[in-house]
A = this chain, B = another copy of it.
Amino acid sequence: MDTKKRILDEALTLFSEKGYANVFVAEIAERVGIKAPSLYKHYKNKQAIFDAIIEEMNRRFLGEAGALQINGADAAMDADIYKKLSEEQLITLGNNLFLYFLHDDYTRRFRKMLTLEQFHDKKLADAYMKQYVDDPLSYQGMLLGLMVSSGVLQTDNVEIMTLHFYAPIYMLLTICDRDPDREAEALKTLEAHIRQFNRLYARNEEIIQNNKKKSRRKIK
């Protein structure tokens, strides 16, 4: 990796751990293996490093087209999977989702940096919300909506159902960001959450049986 990129990488790591104000230019330089003045040949100043990180984030996040996706890119495929999801599959997907968000190096460092810098700059707060609240809710809502249409789940308010699915995941994520030691506990909770979620929203047996008899009829 070239120096310019390595600076961004090390800076992101440091910013996510200590916050912008607590990271010194000399510190970033040291990690890259150069002296502070050399760094100014690559970026105009400290703020420019931060701005470049944000710019890269916007590029990546746009590329990902909404976070918390199942397959990362192929929404149509996700939709097909979701339409006929068993409980075990739902759990597996929830797990992968959670673990991706938690462990993916880039995502994790970003989330932590945005958490620390969110009140400095409204744009960062907005980016955080889009990435970790609104986009996930919107995407997951679309997928869960499909499960409702196809009759796997039942509700008259998909939006709230999605909140019930995602809010616990979000909360577990913020727990593990603060204390990585609680990951095992969080994974157990996550599984129990999804099982219970599935039980609460699954169409009950009677209706499913009925539905089989009147198989032509589609219930919204």
A residues apposed to B, CB below 8 Å: 16-19, 21-22, 112, 115-116, 118-120, 125-126, 128-129, 133, 155, 157, 159-161, 163-164, 166-168, 170-171, 174-175, 178-179, 189, 192-193, 196-197, 200-201
Say whether, besides A157-B196, A163-B168, A196-B157, A178 and B116 are in contact (CB < 8 Å).
Answer: no
Which secondary structure dominates where chain A touches chain B? helix
Partner of A19, one of B116, B125, B129, B159: B116
- Whether the Cβ atoms of B129 and A179 lie closer than 8 Å is yes
Q: Bound state CA distance, A112 and B120, in angstroms?
A: 12
Q: Bound state CA distance, A16 and B159, in angstroms?
A: 32
**A-B contacts besides A116-B119, A128-B178, A167-B171, 20 pairs, CB < 8 Å:** A19-B19, A19-B116, A19-B120, A115-B119, A116-B116, A116-B118, A118-B178, A119-B178, A125-B178, A125-B179, A129-B175, A133-B174, A133-B175, A155-B196, A160-B193, A163-B171, A163-B193, A167-B170, A171-B171, A174-B174
Separation in Å of the A110 CB from the closest CB of chain B?
Answer: 14
| Among A19, A155, A197: residue with most chain B CB under 10 A | A19
Contacts of A189 in B (CB 8 A): 159-160, 163
Q: Bound state CA distance, A17 and B19, in angstroms?
A: 14
| Among A17, A159, A168: residue with most chain B CB under 10 A | A168
- Whether the Cβ atoms of A17 and B119 lie closer than 8 Å is yes
